[in-house]
Chains A and B, each alone.
Chain A
Amino acid sequence: MLDIVVSISLVAVVLSMIGIVYRVIKGPTTPDRVIALDSLGIGLISVIGLISILMRTSVFLEVILLLGILAFIGTVAFSKYLEKGEIIQRDRDK
């Protein structure tokens, strides 16, 4: 029973990720693509969670936290590049 429910939700998440990939390709502006890539990372996190339920293992749980951190840092870096033109500034007050 659990396997069926998890499989159905896996299909739903993958369908939503396909929609997000459409937005990554089509997105008219760069911020659209950045937001779409961020939500693609979140979708990947839920896929990993569902697969670790299906495989009945807990060794993937670190990967979930890791992907959350990496998606956050990547999105912040992209937005800073869009906002300021450079990612790491040498001296902010100048």
Chain B
Amino acid sequence: MKKPNDLILKTVTKVISFIIILFSLHLFFAGHYEPGGGFIGGLMTAAALVLLLLAYDMKTVNTILPFNYKIMTALGLLIAVLTSAGALLFNVPFLTHAYDYFELPLLGETSLHTAVLFDIGVYLVVIGITMTIIQTIGESE
């Protein structure tokens, strides 16, 4: 039987998936001042993983990235809830966020906001749910 040869697709995937992941990180961190945010950043990261799944197979991708996506979803929800509940420690209402400007090495003056931590929760939940749906549908034979 003739073995299928996907050399072009595999080579293109190796280059493009890194660009997509970089773009999704840009969308994630730009979310406070520009269009973007946790939702679309998570969807783009999931798109990069889907491209890897298309070019390779499910076993290889699970070997490269041994994530349990259900645990990732739970971890994202936990981060979101803990960030929201952390406001209660300072005698302010639930979901109150705080920010300040810090002098970081290499980055200079940066505004760090606790909403980013909440957004990381959203990001992990979106990746986890998308990949769980796709893997569950893909596995049924």
Q: Name A's B-contacting residues (CB within 8 A).
A: 59, 62-63, 65-66, 69-70, 72-73, 76-77, 80, 83-84, 87-92
Contact A91-B58, Cβ < 8 Å, known A66-B44, A70-B47 = yes
Q: Chain B, interface size: which category?
A: 20 to 34
Question: What residues of chain A lie closer than 8 Å to B36, measured between beta carbons?
Answer: 62
Interface of A is mostly: helix
| B57 near A62: Cβ-Cβ < 8 Å | no
Counting residue pairs across A and B whose Cβ atoms lie within 8 Å, the total is 53
A84 to B23, CA, bound (A): 30
Using CB atoms and an 8 Å cutoff, list the residues of chain B in contact with chain A: 4, 9, 16, 20, 23, 27, 34-36, 40, 44, 47, 50-51, 53-60, 134, 138-139, 141
Which A residues are CB-close (under 8 A) to B138? 87-88, 90
Given A69-B44, A91-B57, 20 more A-B residue pairs with CB atoms under 8 Å apart are A62-B35, A66-B40, A66-B44, A69-B23, A69-B47, A73-B50, A73-B51, A76-B51, A76-B55, A77-B50, A77-B54, A83-B4, A84-B4, A87-B54, A88-B53, A88-B57, A88-B138, A90-B57, A90-B139, A91-B59
Q: Which residues of B contact A83 (CB under 8 A)?
A: 4
Chain A residues whose C-beta falls within 8 Å of the C-beta of B27 in the assembled complex: 62
Rounded to whole Å, the gap between the CB of B127 and the closest CB of chain A is 16
Between A and B, 8 residue pairs with Cβ closer than 8 Å are A62-B34, A69-B23, A69-B44, A76-B54, A88-B53, A88-B54, A89-B58, A91-B58
| Bound CA span A72–B50, Å | 12
Whole-angstrom distance between the alpha carbons of A92 and B51 in the complex? 15
Report the minimum CB–CB distance from A87 to chain B (whole Å): 7
B54 to chain A, nearest CB (A): 5
Whole-angstrom distance between the Cβ of A72 and the nearest chain B Cβ: 7
In the bound complex, residues from chain B placing their C-beta under 8 Å from that of A92 are 56-57, 59-60
Taking CB atoms, residues of chain B closer than 8 Å to A63 are 35
Q: Nearest 5 A-B pairs (CB), nearest first?
A: A88-B138, A92-B57, A89-B57, A91-B59, A88-B53
Give A71 Cβ to nearest chain B Cβ, in Å: 11
Known A-B contacts A59-B35, A88-B138; A73 and B57 likewise in contact (beta carbons under 8 Å): no
List, in ascending order, chain A residues with CB within 8 A of B56's CB.
92
